DNA sequence: TCCTTAATGTTGAGCGTTCAACTATCACTG
DNA sequence: CAGTGATAGTTGAACGCTCAACATTAAGGA
């Protein structure tokens, strides 16, 4: 059963990743970062807020934003109220890349997971995931270091 | 629901990975390779057979075995009947590392997944995973290239 | 036999992640 | 105000993975 779980989740993950990388030239993680930014007011978030929402370590986010800045998808801006702080802003180009990427990505998710499962199974899976998340003290929560 | 799934599976994955890496100095993938080898007669498998069982690309396996050989966990041997071929053999040291690693790994899996879920949910999850796997033509099956 | 095609396995470059420092700033306490 | 510890974010090295290219050998047909 555990092996079954591993095989299934790895397959889904890698297929999602492959599709997005091939069709849009970005890893899933960058896509998720851009989604978080796109939902924020002014498409702007503090780095640490963005890290918490995406459940990334600060380091990981910093590297990722550096790479995305290089692609022109994101910009950094200084925070006036806290001189240590930095904002990440989704650029117009980044928003465009997100909009282009979304349909294929959503379709892939749908085809791998939702089309395969019955409505009942989707509901069950949802509750299972919620249970699993609640059971463990989330190590990437507010107290996350790195 | 999709985000819920992503958050849950990522959390489980990364916690499993972290525990194994920290306590035994190996990634989950190497652990799985060694498990496959340990179950094979003479703890020996052809590289391609091992790749198929672990659902790894040949490249990935080749790199992994190179690393594990360096660690002393695995040895390569030439195949007499097919001069292209190679065997991977789990060494005594590798088997020892596996035996040391197993309890903590199993405990981690149990605590993250099985302890959190009811028996019914475990059953449901098992069927869901099986369904998902069957639904997609497995790209890492026998016809896998790379 | 020779030639072509397929299969086995390896290699190197590029990329993202992790981990452990590290800098700079803030907040609090004396 | 000085000093101390926490917080925000960055950096570089090590590592594993992917992808495309490659060398070698096997298998099958002309």
Pairwise CB contact (< 8 Å): A121 & B135 = no
Residue pLDDT, tens place only, B33-80: 999 999 999 999 999 999 999 999 999 999 999 999 999 999 999 999
Pairwise CB contact (< 8 Å): A135 & B124 = no
Q: Tell which residue, A68, A61, A35, has the closest CA to residue A140.
A: A61
**Tokens read off for A116:** 């395969």
pLDDT of residue B138: 54
Mean pLDDT of chain B: 92
- Spanning CA of B141 to C1' of C18, the rounded length in angstroms is 30
Q: Which residues pair with A41 in a beta bridge?
A: none
Which residues does chain A have with pLDDT short of 70? 137-146
Residue B77, SS3 per DSSP: strand
Burial of B73 (0-12, 13-18, 19+ CB in 10 A): buried
Residue A80, min C-alpha distance to chain B (Å): 33
Strands A44-46 and B44-46: unpaired
pLDDT of residue B139: 45
Q: Which residues pair with B76 in a beta bridge?
A: B88
Burial of B105 (0-12, 13-18, 19+ CB in 10 A): buried
Contact positions of strand C to protein Cβ (< 7 A): 7-13, 15-21, 24-27
pLDDT of residue A24: 95
Residue A123, min C-alpha distance to chain B (Å): 9
pLDDT of residue A38: 98
The mean pLDDT value for B21-25 works out to 95
Nucleotide of closest approach to B64 (CA, C1'):
D16
Pairwise CB contact (< 8 Å): B136 & A129 = no
pLDDT of residue B136: 79
Residue pLDDT, tens place only, B108-141: 999 999 999 999 999 999 999 999 999 876 543 3
The answer to whether B85 and B76 have CB atoms below 8 angstroms apart is no
């Amino acid at each position: 059963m555990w092996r079954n779980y591993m095989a299934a989740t790895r397959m889904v993950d890698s297929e999602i990743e492959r599709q997005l990388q091939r069709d849009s030239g970005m890893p899933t993680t960058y896509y998720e970062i851009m989604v978080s930014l796109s939902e924020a007011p002014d498409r702007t978030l503090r780095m640490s807020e963005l890290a918490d929402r995406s459940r990334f370590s600060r380091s990981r986010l910093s590297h990722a934003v550096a790479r995305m800045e290089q692609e022109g998808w994101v910009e950094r801006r200084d925070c006036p109220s806290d001189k240590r702080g930095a904002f990440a802003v989704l650029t117009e180009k980044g928003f465009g890349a997100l909009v282009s990427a979304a349909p294929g990505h959503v379709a892939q998710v749908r085809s791998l997971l939702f089309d395969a499962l019955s409505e009942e199974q989707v509901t069950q899976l949802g509750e299972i995931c919620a249970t699993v998340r609640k059971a463990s003290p989330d190590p990437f929560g507010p107290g996350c270091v790195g």
